[in-house]
Each structure stands twice: as structure tokens, then as C-alpha cells.
Amino acid sequence: MELKTIELTKMYGSKTAVNHLNITLSNGVYGLLGANGAGKTTLMRLLCAIQTPTSGKITLNGKKITGLGEEYRGLLGYLPQHFGYYSDFTALDFLLYVAALKGLNEKTTKIKVKEQLEAVGLSEVSNRKIKTFSGGMKQRLGIAQAMLNDPRILILDEPTAGLDPKERVRFRNLISAFSKDRIVILSTHIVSDVEFIAGEIIMMKSGQILHSGKPQEITTEIDGQVWECTVPTNCVDQYTTALNISNSRNIENNCTVLRVIADCAPMTNAVQVRPNLEDLYLFYFKGGNNQ
């Protein structure tokens, strides 16, 4: 399966959200990273045919998705950043309702609803109303509805928002097991969620692809630019203002180890360390500015 964008552009008035984007996606997990406003959500909505491009096109195996209609939508699973639900529905009723909207037959619905409730850990609360759920439980229900029709193309916008660390591990394992022979695209600000499961990282900035590659290879761009330095804990604030810091940890004797992204050693005791994906993200998007 090959999902492809060709000179894909989406404008809102004079603002360009997606700018002549050319990407080719085949089976595997893609992690979509970028600051707020980089165009990630617009790209996912275009791929789901929820929005139409201003210019350019999207093709699936060489055919324009606009001509595939229901056939294409039947291949999709989508979790938007803020998914809608009926708060007085139980989790079970909600998934049955979504299954009907997706056109699943009765036999398939029973099997898939049970499978997904188990997969996201909601089987024991399936008869509780959604309005009684925590934020993490609602998010797990959103993941379940996206996967209900066994989609060949699964698109997830901030899927781990509201999940605790244990739930995030469950999610990563679920996606890893699900992704064989499928295209999975997930956008997140939690870099570790894609670092371990994505076969390819796509970094977006100003509606364009800034950088892409395998997680273990993409960080080589900042080899020699990541350092660890030990400073007095009471001086951390002044260093945070002056330096691009990706992490800090307190140690004994009122000291703190700072992880700093810089072209050269930021201080005399700085030790060069191997970069990770979070360092690369901060290198590009310090302060959340996508411009």
C-alpha cells in the first residue's frame, strides 16, 4: 500500500497551513513531530478526506482518494485531537454506535467491540457511562473507536494526551502489534511515544517537511552538539534562560546536571553525549515556535 501527497497545499485565507508537501507513505509507523501550528493536524485531516486541499492531490496506490469515496473511508481509522462522544452513552453503546456508522455487520461488530475494549483495558467498565470516565479512559475509548474497523490506514492526533505512563506503554505495545501491513501515522508532543515504535520520524515546520528518517539515524544531524554540564541547583534558572536545555536532573551536593544543545561546549565542565530524538526536537522547536 502506498499513500502519497503530491504538491499538497492547504490555505486558510492568506495563511498557508500545508505548503506544497510531497511525501510517500508505505506500511509502517510514522511519527509526526512539530511545534503547534506546524501543519500536522491539517495534514492529517487532508489525509482523512475531512478537508479538501487548496491545490495538489493525495493518491492511494496511484489513484486519487477523491475518486475512491466510501472505499477509501472504509480503510481509515481516525482519532482527532478532540474526539466527539455522547457522555450519556456507555463505552459499549458508544462503540456499537460507531460500528454502525462504519457499516460493520452484526457478527463483526460483536467481535471487534469486545476485542477493542479488551485491547484498551476498558472491558470491566464497558457498561459505565462515558461521563464518569477519567480523561485517560476517554482517550483509550477514542483509540478503540479508531481501530474498530481494523483500518489499513490509522491516523492518530495526540493519541497519548491524558494517558499515564502505564497507559502509554500499553498504547505503544498495541500500536506495535497492530501496525503490520498497515500505515500508521501518529502526531504527538511526547517524543518518547514515537521514538520506540516509529519506523520513520517526520518533522514538520511551517507546513513543510523539515527532516525525516529512522529514529536511530535522524539524530546524527546534531552529533557533537549535545552536552551535559553540572551546575549549582540555585543557578539553574539563569542557565535555563540562556541555554537550550532539553533535560535536567538533580544530584547530590545541591547540584543539577543540565543536558544542553549547543554548537560548542557551553561551559568548561561540559561533557559531550550522544543525542536522542528529544534533543533533536528541542534543536528545531525550542520555545514551541514553528516559524
pLDDT tens sequence across 145-197: 999 999 999 999 988 877 888 888 888 888 888 888 899 999 987 787 788 88
Q: How far apart are CA 263 and CA 10, in angstroms?
A: 35
Closest CA to 46 of 62, 63, 65, 27: 65
pLDDT tens sequence across 207-247: 999 889 998 889 898 999 999 999 999 989 989 888 999 88
Mean pLDDT of 6-24: 95
Q: Which CATH superfamily is domain 2-219 in?
A: P-loop containing nucleotide triphosphate hydrolases (3.40.50.300)
Residues 232 and 255 sit within 8 Å (Cβ to Cβ): yes
Q: How far apart are CA 177 and CA 275, in angstroms?
A: 28
Q: Name the phi and psi angles at 271, rounded to 5.
A: -120, 130
Closest CA to 76 of 93, 92, 94, 58: 58
Residues 217 and 187 sit within 8 Å (Cβ to Cβ): no
Closest CA to 143 of 175, 183, 177, 100: 175
